[in-house]
């Protein structure tokens, strides 16, 4: 199979909160509206930005991370996308050089041009110094210019452009506007599905971008960003049919929404049939062999979850029947006896794990981690604002990603129920990092 060439851009920034997601969405929406096939990826572990990116592009959004998903997985996904797409957009994570691996590492490994987005709302001449520093800090990176975000006026934009050492790097300015701002909460962006005007915001952002040099690039101009994506030297092997004939019920609603699209693909590739349900709105589980309770916002919807006694009974019946359950982060939180909000409100939860979880006003844990399971080691990450108190002893704990250090102990893996078929942790797993280990979470005859 030959290499595949496609225009591609990685949207980066000097820090979080600069507007990377807004710009990546605007760029995707603009070119999608013009009839181009756009594929978007998110650098690093992130559940929320992909909802907006998928809405903007009309296509699923997968993660790229040189450690969590693996270099071979990244190469395979990019090569596959390049065969079908007219434009590939990768949204970076945090600041350009933040993290191990960083967005810069990903860009350098695959030769991705970098579009730098900078919140210039409170600067003028320093804008040029910041751009110069980002572009000269590391050799071997390919820059495609800079876009100023949250600019106050045309006069302000002129000052920013004049500060650049290389005027050709100027891709334009997006003015400060509430019409296309993306609202946030404690874990990140508010999900696009929660907002009635989500598409209107994306269209407004695309309209604003259309007035910049960046937004006026046509198909011919995009070729300046062309990247040749080689055939993966170490292709990911075919996923075994370990879940053939198994039906897995997946919680999916506003309270349980932290789901990697690639995790669903991995389960299906192993033969699983997936059915979805809402713990908020439904009163019964679908007919299933196993249950997956992903992360999300149980703390925001605690009152509704507590009031849905029928769902609590249905999940308890599933557990008491000895059927497997995998609960991640928010999914685990709902399984405890009680949940306390950051304001001190108490809610009775599902009572299948003894103890309580308490929301904190500050981040409790963050970072890439891995966990050793019966089927092998799963890679993933942790990111949560709550802590738990339980008499249960952890069956095991996560470990830091290679080259990283944990602050305190790793995340606990709790097991409960008949034959310990209920497994729960704050850890978010990337199933494709070890399909056999992921499959073992849902198989009744595995330890």
Q: For 312-338, write each residue's pLDDT tens digit.
A: 999 999 999 999 999 999 999 999 999
Domain-embedded: residue 234: no
Domain-embedded: residue 445: no
> Does residue 388 carry a catalytic annotation?
no
- The sign one gets for the Cα dihedral 402, 408, 411, 415 is positive
Determine what percent of the chain is predicted with pLDDT higher than 70.
95
Domain-embedded: residue 416: yes
Residues, the chain, total? 447
Q: Quote the domain boundaries for residue 27.
A: 4-229
Q: What is the pLDDT of residues 167-189, one digit of tens each?
A: 999 999 999 987 777 765 455 55
CA distance 332 to 409: 18
CATH code at position 330 = 3.40.50.880
Q: What is the pLDDT of residues 281-309, one digit of tens each?
A: 999 999 999 999 999 999 999 999 999 99
CATH code at position 79 = 3.40.50.300
Same structural domain, 218 and 258: no
Last residue of a domain, one of 197, 229, 261: 229
Same structural domain, 64 and 147: yes
Same structural domain, 101 and 220: yes
Domain-embedded: residue 208: yes
Last residue of a domain, one of 194, 229, 264: 229
Q: Which of 288, 329, 356, 388 is catalytic?
A: 329
Q: Which two tokens stand for residue 31?
A: 């070119």
CA distance 391 to 33: 55
90, 9 contact by CB (below 8 A): yes
- Output the pLDDT for position 413: 96
Q: Is residue 236 packed enough to be buried (19+ CB in 10 Å), middle (13-18) or exposed (0-12)? A: middle
The Cα angle at residue 267 between residues 266 and 270, in degrees rounded to 5: 90
Same structural domain, 329 and 364: yes
Last residue of a domain, one of 229, 255, 276: 229
Same structural domain, 304 and 385: yes
Same structural domain, 21 and 136: yes
Same structural domain, 224 and 251: no
- Output the pLDDT for position 189: 53
Domain-embedded: residue 32: yes
Q: Give the count of domains, the chain.
A: 2
Same structural domain, 113 and 156: yes
CA distance 130 to 118: 9
pLDDT in tens, the chain (447 residues): 678 999 999 999 999 999 999 999 999 999 999 999 999 999 988 888 999 999 999 999 999 999 999 999 999 999 999 999 999 999 999 999 998 899 999 999 999 999 999 999 999 999 999 999 999 999 999 999 999 999 999 999 999 999 999 999 999 999 998 777 776 545 555 555 566 788 899 999 999 999 999 999 999 999 999 999 988 776 666 677 899 999 999 999 999 999 999 999 999 999 999 999 999 999 999 999 999 999 999 999 999 999 999 999 999 999 999 999 999 999 999 999 999 998 889 999 999 999 999 998 887 778 899 999 888 999 999 988 899 999 999 999 999 888 788 777 899 999 999 889 999 999 999 999 999 999 999 998 755
Same structural domain, 14 and 124: yes
Same structural domain, 269 and 181: no
Same structural domain, 353 and 217: no
Nearest alpha carbon to residue 260 among 270, 271, 252, 249: 252
CA distance 356 to 335: 9
Q: What is the pLDDT of residues 30-40, one digit of tens each?
A: 999 999 999 99
């Amino acid at each position: 199979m030959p290499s595949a060439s496609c225009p591609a851009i990685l949207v980066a920034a000097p820090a979080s909160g600069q507007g990377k997601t807004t710009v990546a969405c605007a760029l995707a929406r603009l070119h999608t509206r013009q009839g181009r096939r756009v594929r978007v990826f998110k650098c690093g572990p992130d559940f929320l930005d992909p909802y907006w990116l998928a809405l903007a592009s009309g296509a699923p959004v997968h993660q790229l991370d040189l450690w969590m998903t693996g270099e071979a997985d990244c190469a395979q996904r990019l090569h596959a996308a390049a065969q079908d797409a007219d434009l590939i957009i990768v949204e970076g994570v945090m600041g350009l050089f933040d993290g191990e691996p960083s967005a810069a590492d990903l860009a350098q490994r695959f030769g991705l041009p970098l579009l730098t987005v900078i919140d210039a709302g409170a600067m003028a001449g320093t804008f040029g110094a910041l751009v110069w520093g980002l572009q000269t800090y590391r050799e071997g990176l390919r820059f495609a210019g800079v876009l100023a975000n949250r600019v106050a006026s045309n006069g302000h934009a002129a000052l920013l452009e004049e500060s650049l050492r290389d005027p050709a790097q100027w891709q334009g300015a997006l003015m400060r506007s509430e019409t296309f701002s993306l609202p946030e909460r404690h874990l990140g962006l508010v999900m696009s599905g929660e907002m009635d005007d989500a598409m209107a915001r994306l269209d407004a952002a695309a309209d604003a971008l259309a007035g910049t040099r960046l937004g006026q690039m046509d198909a011919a101009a995009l070729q300046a960003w062309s990247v040749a994506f080689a055939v993966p030297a170490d292709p990911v092997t075919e996923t075994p049919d370990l879940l053939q004939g198994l039906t897995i019920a997946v919680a999916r609603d506003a309270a349980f929404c932290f789901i990697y699209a690639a995790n669903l693909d991995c389960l299906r590739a192993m033969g699983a049939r997936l059915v979805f349900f809402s713990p908020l709105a439904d009163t019964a589980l679908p007919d299933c062999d196993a249950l997956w309770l992903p992360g999300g916002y149980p703390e925001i919807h605690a009152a509704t979850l507590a009031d849905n006694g029928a769902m609590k009974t249905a999940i308890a019946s599933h557990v008491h029947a000895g059927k497997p359950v995998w609960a991640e982060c928010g999914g685990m939180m709902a399984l405890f006896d009680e949940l306390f909000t950051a304001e001190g409100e108490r809610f009775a939860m599902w009572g299948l794990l003894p103890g309580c979880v308490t929301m904190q006003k500050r981040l409790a844990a963050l970072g890439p981690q891995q966990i050793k399971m019966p089927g092998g080691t799963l890679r993933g990450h942790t990111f949560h604002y709550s802590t738990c108190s339980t008499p249960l002893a952890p069956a095991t704990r996560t470990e830091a990603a290679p080259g990283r250090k944990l602050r305190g102990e790793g995340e606990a893996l709790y097991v409960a129920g008949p034959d310990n078929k209920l497994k729960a942790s704050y850890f978010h797993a990337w199933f494709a990092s070890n399909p056999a280990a992921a499959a073992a979470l849902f198989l009744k005859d595995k330890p």
